[in-house]
Chains A and B, each alone.
Chain A
Amino acid sequence: MHKKQSAQGAQNNRITVIRPKKGLSLPSLKELAEYKDLILLFAGRDLSVKYRQTVLGPLWLVIMPVISALVSTFVFGGIARIDSSGLPYFVFYFAAFTLWSYFSTSLTSTATTFTSNALLFRRVYFPRLAVPAAHILSNLFRFAVQFALLVIVLLIFWATGTDISPVWGMVWLLPLLVVQSALLALGVGALLSALTAKYRDLASLVSVGVDLWKYLTPVVYSASTLTGGVRIFCLVNPMGAPIEAFRYILLGAGGAVFPEYLLISLAETLVILFLGALVFHRVERNFVDTV
Chain B
Amino acid sequence: MKEDEVLLMEVVSKEYRTGQIGYGTLKRDLQSWWAKVRHKEDPNGKLTGGRYRADGTFRALDGIDLSVRRGETLGIIGRNGAGKSTLLKLLSRITEPTEGVISFRGRIASMLEVGTGFHPELTGRENIYLNGAILGMKKAEIDEKASDIIAFSECADFIDTPVKRYSSGMLVKLAFAVAAHLDGEILILDEVLAVGDMAFQKKSLEKMLSVAREEGRTVLCVSHNMDTVRSLCRRCIVLEEGKKIFDGGTEEAIALYETLCRDYRAAAPSCKV
Contact = CB atoms under 8 A, between A and B. Distances in A.
A124 B110 contact: yes
Interface in A1-42: 1-2, 5, 9, 11-21, 35, 37-38, 40-42
Give the interface SS of chain B, mostly helix, strand, loop or mixed: loop
A20 B99 CA distance: 6
A48 B106 contact: no
Contacts of B103: 15-18
A261 to B, nearest CB: 36
Greatest chain B CB density within 10 A among A37, A53, A122, A290 is at A37
B97 A125 contact: no
A20 B22 CA distance: 20
Given A11-B106, A13-B106, A16-B104, A124 B98 contact: no
Interface string A273-291: 0000000000001101110
Contacts of B94: 121-125, 288
Given A9-B215, A120-B116, A18 B95 contact: no
- Which of A38, A45, A285, A290 has the largest count of B CB atoms less than 10 A from its CB? A38
A60 to B, nearest CB: 16
A74 interface: no
A289 B21 contact: yes
Contact of B107 (A12, A20, A49): A12
B141 to A, nearest CB: 8
B101 interface: yes
B209 interface: no
B104 A125 contact: no
A123 B22 contact: no
A119 B134 CA distance: 13
A258 to B, nearest CB: 40
A17 B105 contact: no
A81 interface: no
B129 A286 contact: no
B136 interface: yes
B133 A37 contact: yes
Contact of A45 (B105, B130, B135): B130
Interface size class of B (residues with CB under 8 A): 35 or more
A213 interface: no
Interface stretch (B117-125, B196-204, B241-249): B117-125
Nearest to B70: A11
B160 to A, nearest CB: 13
Contacts of A119: 116
A20 B98 CA distance: 6
A17 B96 contact: no
Nearest to B9: A18
B228 interface: no
Name the residue among A15, A21, A124 with the largest chain B CB count within 10 angstroms. A124
B107 A123 contact: no
Contacts of A15: 1, 103-105
A111 B21 CA distance: 22
A250 B211 CA distance: 60
A123 B93 CA distance: 10
B95 A288 contact: yes
Contacts of A12: 105-107, 185
Nearest to B21: A290
Q: Most A CB atoms within 10 A — which of B102, B134, B135? A: B134
A49 B122 contact: yes
B28 interface: no
A41 B133 contact: yes
- Looking at B94, B139, B185, the one whose CB has the most chain A CB atoms below 10 A away is B94
A290 B101 contact: no
Interface in B76-106: 89-90, 92-106
B165 interface: no
A288 B107 CA distance: 21
Contact of B96 (A1, A14, A20, A290): A20
Contacts of B139: 37, 40-41
Interface string A41-74: 1100100110011000000000000000000000
Contacts of B159: none
A20 B10 CA distance: 12
Contacts of A198: 22
B252 interface: no
Nearest to B104: A16
Contacts of B98: 20
B234 interface: no
A71 B139 CA distance: 44
B138 interface: yes
Interface of B: 1, 16-17, 21-22, 70, 89-90, 92-107, 110, 112-113, 116-117, 119, 121-122, 126, 129-130, 133-139, 141, 162, 183, 185, 215
Given A12-B106, A288-B94, 12 more contacts: A5-B141, A12-B105, A12-B185, A15-B1, A18-B90, A18-B93, A37-B139, A42-B130, A52-B162, A125-B92, A125-B94, A288-B89
6 contacts: A2-B136, A14-B105, A15-B105, A49-B119, A124-B112, A285-B96
